[in-house]
Each structure stands twice: as C-alpha cells, then as structure tokens.
A = this chain, B = another copy of it.
Amino acid sequence: MALSEFSLIQQYFAELTAKRDDVVLGIGDDCALLQCPPQHQLAVSIDTLVENVHFFADVDPHTLGHKSLAVSLSDLAAMGATPAWFTLALTLPEVNEAWLKQFSAGLAELAIQHNIQLVGGDTTRGPLCISIQVHGFVENNQAFRRDQANNGDLIFVSGTLGDAGAALKHRLDNWSPAELTADDWQYLQHRLELPTPQNNLVETLRGNTTAAIDISDGLLADLDHILSKSGNGAVIDLDKLPLSDALTKLPFEQASQLALNSGDDYELCFTVPATKVDNLAPIADKISCIGEITAEKALILRDQTGQQRHYDARKGYDHFGA
C-alpha cells in the first residue's frame, strides 16, 4: 500500500504521544513552535539507531520503538533534565503498516509515561535508521554535567550492570554458559531490548550530584568521560558492582568484566559528596555506591583482597574504534 510521506508521521505517531500545553504548534508546519519555561535551560540530545549496528534486523518493532526513545530519555536523565518534546527522523526501506503500528505503539507508551510529546519528524526511504532528538528543561545551573566531580565524591550507579552486554554476547557469539537458565536469558534479553531510562531518579539527585552520565558504552568508558572532564581519577571496588541474580550465577571474573565493559544498560553513573549521601535515602534501594573519586588521575579497580589494577578505560564499545 502506498502512503503519502506527508501523512506517515501524522498517521502513525502524532496522536499517540503526550499532549503538552507548551507546544504552540506541533506536527504539520515547516517547524514546530515551542514555549520554553523561564529560568530554565533547554537540554537537547540526538541519537541514531541503525539496523545491524544498534539492533538486529529481526527485532520486534514494538521493543525497537521503546528502545529508540529510551536511549534518548536516558540522556535527559543523565543531565538532570525533565523530558518535554522530541522529534523523529525515520528512514524506512518500505512502508510496512504492521511494522509502523507496532513501532509507534512501543514509542508512544514510553512517551506517555514520561510526558514527552512528538513535535516533528521526517520520513524518508532508505536503509532502516532512526534518529531521535529529545528536548528537556533543567533549572538554570542545576544540570548534572560531566565536569564537576570532586575529589572524595562517592561514585554511584543505578540498577545492575552488564545484563544487556550478556544478552548481546549470547546473541553475537553464541555464548551460553551452563549456569544460566531460559528464564535468565529472557530477563537479560529484556534488559537489552527494553532498557528503562532512569528519569525517575532525577528529582532525588537534584542538588545532590556533582556529575552524572548514563552508561551506554560501558561503566569504565563512561566513567572515564567524567574523570577526564572533571580532571580527576577514581577507585572502583569490584565487589560492590551491582549484579543481577542472573549474572551472580556466573564466575565473578566473567560477571565483573561484563559489568565494567559492556554497554547498553542505560543505568546512571553519578558522583555525590559524602555530606549529601543521606539525601539519597528515597532511592537507596535503586542505587549502589561502587567507589570514590580521587585526586590521582587514574582509574583503579580494587578487588576484595585489596589488590589494585590500573585500567585503560578507552576500551569501551566504540563504533569507529580500531
């Protein structure tokens, strides 16, 4: 069935996402017109997902719709911003109505949860490629930047780490350790395909965190961005890495490698001055303290015997890396 490009976004997406009063003019003109609140900064981030790079060609379109928006919502969470609007540039090999319905439904469910409205889009014909730009607000000078972690700050992460990486390794390398059951694999695949952006932590973190980043490339690679921008180092206690029940079944060396180096978890990593840790009580069950910022510019991993090793964090996942 041939469908006009003009109506694709309108037909499949426009009515599904949140409705906000600050959208003066939505989809259907040369630009959307949006009203920014006073005393706030606009936070924007764009992410692209490409078939066979960021997702498998056989992925369920409903989960793909979810993930496409989730990874961008995660950037807003990492910045301490409240979601407001997004745009969608969708390149499709063909107009497949069943696919579009499922993809848009997955996207819209998450959009409504986070009160974020689709305000513009572009659809073109070509190899499947999804670019989403999100916009959010953050009160002036309240953003969680990467460059303000201080010596002595404690390092926290949300959730558990390495789950998405385990699922990816299972799929890519036929890696299938005997310890893991079918239920474990289902859980891990869910973590890979349906990541939960941690925007619900933001309110509690405001005023209490000095730096933050979301873990998309791997804990060490992402923490390293904080360290290089803030000009300091860190000690991570390996035995404090939060692991899921599934990963806990694996040999510790294997599980911790996944937790340290694999991406796609979309958990938050953030730093908190020791004096403010008590303020995190409302989210204490969702976060783990895994180490400390140090003045020495090195990233050191410490095991439970106290043994330390330096780590080159530039080994995280990197699409154009060597």
Q: Which residues of A contact B (CB under 8 A)?
A: 2-6, 8, 24-25, 28-36, 38, 41-54, 75-76, 78-79, 81, 85, 87-89, 91, 95, 119-127, 129, 131, 133, 135-136, 138, 143-147, 212-214, 229, 314, 318-322
Cβ-neighbour of A319 out of B124, B135, B146, B322 (below 8 A): B124
A-B contact pairs, 11 of them (CB 8 A): A2-B320, A2-B322, A5-B321, A28-B146, A31-B76, A31-B136, A33-B43, A35-B42, A46-B120, A50-B124, A131-B131
A122 touching B30, Cβ below 8 Å: no
Report B-chain residues with C-beta under 8 Å of the C-beta of A30.
Answer: 45, 75-76, 78-79, 144, 146, 212-214
In whole Å, how far is A157's beta carbon from the nearest beta carbon of chain B? Answer: 15
Report B-chain residues with C-beta under 8 Å of the C-beta of A2.
Answer: 320-322
Cβ-neighbour of A320 out of B29, B123, B319 (below 8 A): B123
Known: A30-B78, A50-B91, A319-B5. A127 touches B125 (CB 8 A): no
B46 touching A319, Cβ below 8 Å: no
Identical copies of this chain, number? 2
Report B-chain residues with C-beta under 8 Å of the C-beta of A38.
Answer: 38
B319 touching A125, Cβ below 8 Å: yes
A48 touching B320, Cβ below 8 Å: no
Cβ-neighbour of A32 out of B44, B213, B314, B320 (below 8 A): B44
A41 touching B45, Cβ below 8 Å: no
Chain B CB within 10 A, most for which of A48, A121, A125: A48
In whole Å, how far is A83's beta carbon from the nearest beta carbon of chain B? Answer: 11
Report B-chain residues with C-beta under 8 Å of the C-beta of A45.
Answer: 30-32, 120
